[in-house]
Structures are given as C-alpha cells and as structure tokens.
Amino acid sequence: MTTMTETQTSRVRSTAGTKGVTFAGVLRSEWIKLFSLMSTRILLLLTLVAIIGVGALAVLIRFSFLDEMARQARDQGQTLTPEMMSQTFPPGSGFDLYNLPNAGLQIGILVLGSLAVLFISSEYATGMIRSTMNAVPRRTPAFVAKAILLAVISYVITTIAAVATFLIAMPVFQGLGLDLDWSTDGVLYSVFTGGLYVAGVALIGLSLGALLRNSAGGITVLVGLFFVLSIAASFMTFIPGDFWKYVPQYLPSDAGGRFLSIGHTDGVIDPWQGGLIFLGYVLLFLVPAMIVLKKRDV
Amino acid sequence: MIEATGLSKVYGSKTAVEGVSFTVKAGQVTGFLGPNGAGKSTTMRMIMGLDRPTSGTVTVNGLHYADHKAPLHEVGALLDAKAVHISRSAYNHLRAMAATHNIPTSRVHEVIEMTGLEAVARKKAGGFSLGMGQRLGIANALLGDPQTLILDEPVNGLDPEGVLWVRNLVRYLAGQGKTVFLSSHLMSEMAQTADHLIVIGRGKIIADAPVQDIIAGTRQVKTLVRTSAATQLSALLSGDGVTVDQGQPETLEVTGLDARKIAQVALDNRVLVYELTPQQSSLEDAYFDLTKDEVEYHSHLTGGPAGEFAPETAPATAGK
C-alpha cells in the first residue's frame, strides 16, 4: 500500500507541487478565503472603528457627568477632589474607569460573532463546503484552521480597539485630575482580556454555524445567547428568594462579563471562575460542532 | 483505480445506492451512465468521502480518499459546479484550494489558462454562467494534476466547443495512464468519449462492459425494408424470434433476421424490395433496453462476456 502511494505521488508533475496537505497550508487557505471577500475586509475595518467609537462615546458620557458634577460643586463654592470623583463610582457598579478599554466590546461580540457564524454557514449556503472538504477530506484541520484564524483576528482587533480607546480616555480623565494610566489597577488586565472574551464568542459563533449550517439561524441563536438571554435572566432577580439572584451570573454573557472585571465582590463569582465557566461554554459548543462536522454528509 | 465493494447509501427511507460493486481502471475513460436519480452523484460523493456509505467501502488507488496524504494529487473531482462561494473570484477560489496542498500559484494560472477562464478569473464566481461554472469546476479538479479524475456531468451547460474540449481532455488524460470516471445522462456523449461503461439504474449496477459490447450486445439487429408488397412480405418473414413492424406504407422494420436472409426470402417469393437498410443500433437504444427493467437484465449483464449480453427474449417494440 505504501509503495503504491509513493509511485502515485512521484508521477505527479512538479508544477502542481508534491507536498500534500499540511496544516500550515490549510491555515493559509482559510486566510485567503476570509480576506478574499470584500465584505469581510470592510466588516473588520468597520468593527474596529465601531468598537473605538463606542468606547469614545463612553469616555465622553463619563467625562460630561464628572464635568457637570465639578461645575455644580464650583457653583456651590466647593472643589471636587479626584478622590470624591472616584467615590461616585462604587466598586462593581460597572462605572469603573479601568474597564473603559472594553466599553465597545458588545459591538465586537455582535459583529465578530456573526462573522464567525457566516465564515462557515456561508460555505454551506453556497456549496463551497464541498470544495473545502474535497481538499481537506479529514475535515477537522479545516475547522481548526477556521477556529484559530477567527480567534486570533477577534483578539487582535479587540485588543487594538481597547488600546486605542484607552489612549483616548487617558488624557481626558487625567485632565480632570483623576489618576488613570497604564499602571492603574485593572487597566492592563482589561486591555488584554477583552479580546479573549470576544475570541470565545467567535468560537461559539463558528460552532453554531457548523451545527446549524444556516446563517440566519446561527446569528439568531448567537444574539439570543449573548443579548436576549441576559436581559431575560435579569427578570429572574425579581423572583422572591435568594436563589434566583445567583442564576444569571452563570449565563455565558454574564460569566464573560465577570471574567473582565477585577477583584472579589461578595455574592458573585470571582473573575477566574467566570473565565472558567465561559471557557466551558466555548467547549460545550466547539466539541459537538467538530464531531458533527466530521461525521455528517456534506 | 477506483474500487467499490458492496457500496450502499440509504437516506432515511430512500435507498439511493444499493450494494454497488465496480472497478474503474486506469488508462481509459469509464462512463457512468444512468437516468436522473439513479445514484450516480451519490456514488461519486461516497468515493470522495463527502457522503458516508451506509455499508460497503470504496477506495481510490488502494486507500480511502480521506486517508491519502495528498488527496488533491490523487483525485480531482468536479461533483457540483456550484461548490464555490458566490462572492469570491475564480482566481481566489483556486488559490485557496491550492494553498491546502501547497500547490504553487503558477499552477493556478496554468489551470485557468487550460480551461479558458483568463477573461473572467478575477470576477465573482456567483456571476458565472453555467458553462463558466463548469470550466471553473474542471479547473478545480485539475489543480493537483491528479492521478484520477472524477467528473459528474462535466459537459452540462458547455457550448459545443467546450464539449469537444472536455472530450479531448479526458481522452488525453486517459492516454496518459490516468483513471477517468465521468458521469452523464447524455448517451451520445458517452458513445463518443467513453471506452467502458458502467450503467446504473435505481441504485443498482445493470451493466459493466466496454461501450462497443453494450451497443452490439443488447439489442438485436433491426433492418428497414421498403417494399411494394409490405403485407405479403410481412407474413412471409414473420416467424419464431422474428418481429415485423409495419410503420409507414410500404415500410417494414424487421428484427431478428439479417438483411441477407430478408433479401433471400424476397427473392424466393418474387417480392419487389427497393430499400434494405440495416439499422445501426445506438447506445441510446441499448441504454433504454437496459434501464427498462434492470432486474430482468441484472444477472445477464454484470461481468458476463459480450456475447451473453443479448437478452433471450427481447420485446420487439422496446426503445421506440
């Protein structure tokens, strides 16, 4: 059998290459696929702009709020110290300045998550998936290559946007006398973990695309999972009894949100626990998607 | 070489392919013929590992397609001309496919040139005509300069020049010692292109023989006779194993007797015959005979030598 394969390969003309399938080749193939679509290039650029834009808006809102407070204090003949300003943001309220880099994260989740669904569901819709599976008949390498590519791109874009957002925020709040720079507690953590969360959402999106093989269905489930479910669960807190108050934090979006905050807060899971729960959700979608992709007829 | 053994595929309650076994040899063009829905595409998808067989196995050059280290160099397939992202250019599609096997971009340009796609290579594949889509599919199949070529309805939508091109291409590749397996429902195309035929009907192989044997063996020779005394000659010719059809006035179609014997009968009885033409049996006739009732012919046709192909009792009016 081996000798047969060797003779077959040696008969191949050199112009077509003789290396065979390599993972690096599959990765490059997926890269070409992703960036050879005009829509992807435009979408990625707009996502970057949108995340920074929403971040800048968040900076503006907080600045106006503080500026107004300072003005009122001045009118009453007092001076508002930076310490007093800081205290207007109680810990865990979500108004901390350290997580400003991730202010536009929801846009990233929505767009990059949808892009991830489309990256594979559009192949099913157009029939491209059959060409893909012909070239990579073991299938799993193609899916893994897609996953790596999406995770890296999501991480890079989100992190660039986070740095840019913070570069906008820093001088604004320093101008108010607030202590905010790269060394502020939680800033670097926020800058480098926001992308992990978005990358995880992208992986869930890719998995949904592979499982449902349908663009609209995949995006709908993704939005349901990360936006609608969280809102719906917030109503649970109105149910009498303490138990229901602790349920929503285990949802993918809330666990991810906890992962992006710093420090221990009583009554909620710690960031590392949130991170682990979120990772669990990613695997919960990723593993079945890989199994189904390998087994199902295309 | 493609070897299928007991290959079956069941979709829900529908059996698409049922216990199919065949061998496609290198160095010749093997046609895969059958009516729509007979199981041609399903069989080809199973060869390429896109569909998982319900039972049985199929190997290409000794291995399952997916087990080859360089699948695109082993087998090039055109299964579905629309297996392309509509918003991607033909060039980028081929480049992405080539990248998986580290096939150089020069080869991409080569296949674009071979298939005559230069003018549209940078345009979105979604806007391609059926013929252009077929050319792109063929370019995709040739990308890895494969040892085996599997083409599902390759001439669909091609212009006459394209049909001729595909015919010459597959003949050339078979001449190079490659395995060529091509499906079609166009019998005239098969008659001109293929050396060997595998005929499939309702998921079962009903014939597996050289093209000439199928044409010659399936149907008895038919002879067109024009005579001034049609009714009289008809009565004289009729007999055991001979059927006579009287169509137009003064015209008979005789099956079961060759032209020489008909002339002898006419001479003996002093009947004027002014035309006596043996009708060349076409692949089309053979095909209709074969697919008419696959079960009846099944045991006669699979694997048997050419002479045994003729059914013992061929209904005379078949194939009209």
Domains and CATH numbers, chain B: 2-215 (3.40.50.300), 220-279 (3.30.70)
Stretch among A101-110, A172-181, B20-29, B157-166 having the lowest mean pLDDT: A172-181
The residue among B10, B97, B100 with the most chain A CBs within 10 A of its CB, best to mutate, is B100
Whether B227 contacts B233, CB under 8 Å:
yes
Q: B45 CB contacts (<8 Å, ≥6 apart)?
A: A297, B51, B79
Angle at A267 between CA A265 and CA A273, to 5 degrees: 70
Q: How big is the CA angle at B183 (ends B120 and A127), to the nearest 5 degrees? A: 50
d(CA A65, CA A45): 31
Please list every residue in chain A whose beta carbon sits closer than 8 Å to the beta carbon of residue B61. 4-5, 8
Residue A23: the pLDDT is 96
What secondary structure letter does DSSP report for A16?
G
> Stretch A128-148: mean pLDDT, rounded?
96
Contact between residue B257 and residue B224 where contact means Cβ atoms under 8 Å apart: no
Handedness of CA B155, B160, B162, B164 (dihedral sign): positive
Sign, CA torsion A76/A77/A83/A85: positive
- Tell me the C-alpha distance between B74 and A4, whole Å: 12
A-to-B residue pairs, Cβ atoms closer than 8 angstroms = 146
Contact A137 B77 (CB under 8 A): no
Do residue A13 and residue B88 have CB atoms under 8 angstroms apart? no
Question: What pLDDT was estimated at residue A95?
Answer: 59
Q: How far apart are CA B242 and CA A30, in angstroms?
A: 66
Q: Which residue has the tokens 């729509």?
A: B36
Nearest residue in A to B102, CA atom:
A25
Strand pairing class (B29-33; B55-60): unpaired
Q: Please say whether the beta carbons of B147 and B176 come within 8 A.
A: no
Give the span between the Cα atoms of B126 and B107, in whole angstroms: 23
Quote the pLDDT of residue A89.
63
Q: Which residues of B touch A30 (CB under 8 A)?
A: 96
Quick one: closest CA in B to A12, which residue? B145
Rounded Cα distance between B249 and B255, Å, is 18
Q: With 80 as the cut, is the pLDDT of residue A8 above it?
A: no
pLDDT, tens only, A263-282: 888 888 899 999 999 999 99
pLDDT value of position B316: 40
Q: Do B106 and A13 touch (CB under 8 A)?
A: no
CB contact under 8 Å between B144 and A37, yes or no, is no
Residues of A in Cβ contact (< 8 Å) with B84: 126-128, 131
Nearest chain B alpha carbon to A6? B69
Q: What beta strand segments (E) does chain B contain? A: 2-11, 14-24, 29-33, 55-60, 75-78, 148-152, 179-184, 196-201, 204-210, 222-227, 243-246, 251-255, 273-279
Q: Do B101 and A11 touch (CB under 8 A)?
A: no
pLDDT for B315: 40
Residues of B in contact with A21 (CB under 8 A): 69-72, 100-101
Average pLDDT, chain A: 88
Q: Do A17 and B71 touch (CB under 8 A)?
A: no
- DSSP single-letter state for residue B77: E
> Which of the residue ranges A47-61, A178-192, B11-25 would you say has the lowest mean pLDDT?
A178-192
The confidence score (pLDDT) of residue A119 equals 96
Of the two residues A143 and B242, the one the predictor is more confident about is: A143
Question: Which two structure tokens, joined as six digits, stand for A163?
Answer: 């740095």
Indicate yes or no: CB of A20 within 8 angstroms of CB of B49: no
Residues of B in contact with A4 (CB under 8 A): 61-62
Tell me the H-state helices in B6-153.
40-47, 71-74, 90-100, 105-114, 130-142
User: Scanning every residue of chain B, which has its alpha carbon at the shortest distance from the alpha carbon of A39?
Assistant: B87
Asked whether the CA dihedral B170, B171, B177, B183 is positive or negative, the reply is: positive
Query: Both tokens of residue A2?
Result: 């081996």
Would you tell me which residues 119-148 of chain A have a C-beta closer than 8 angstroms to some C-beta of chain B?
122-123, 126-131, 133-138
* Residues of A whose CB is below 8 A from B74: 8
How much is the pLDDT for A36? 95
Element holding A255 (H helix, E strand): helix A252-260
Contacts of A9 in chain B (CB under 8 A): 69-70, 73
Query: CA-to-CA distance for A105 and A193, rounded, in angstroms?
Result: 11
Q: A203: exposed, middle or buried (C-beta count within 10 Å: 0-12, 13-18, 19+)? A: buried
Closest approach of A204 to chain B, Cα-based (Å): 23
Cα–Cα distance for residue pair B240/B218, rounded to 1 Å: 19
Inter-chain touch B97–A131, beta carbons under 8 Å:
yes
Instruction: Find out whether B251 and B207 touch, Cβ atoms under 8 Å.
Output: no
- Considering only residues B64 and A91, tell me which one the structure prediction assigns the higher pLDDT: B64
CA nearest neighbour of B283 among B213, B202, B204: B213
Distance (Å) from the alpha carbon of A284 to chain B's nearest alpha carbon: 25
Identity of the residue numbered A31? W
pLDDT, one tens digit per residue, over B235-261 is 888 887 788 888 788 888 888 787 888
Q: Is the pLDDT of residue A6 over 70?
A: no
* Tokens coding B236: 């004289």
Q: Which of A2, A7, A8 to mutate to test the interface with B (most CBs of B within 10 A)?
A: A8
Please give the Cα distance from B42 to B50 (Å, whole number).
Answer: 9
For chain B, list residues with pLDDT below 50.
Answer: 295-320
Q: What is the pLDDT of residue A91?
A: 54
Residues A92-105, mean pLDDT to the nearest whole number: 76
Stated as kind and residue range, the H or E segment containing A135 is helix A128-135
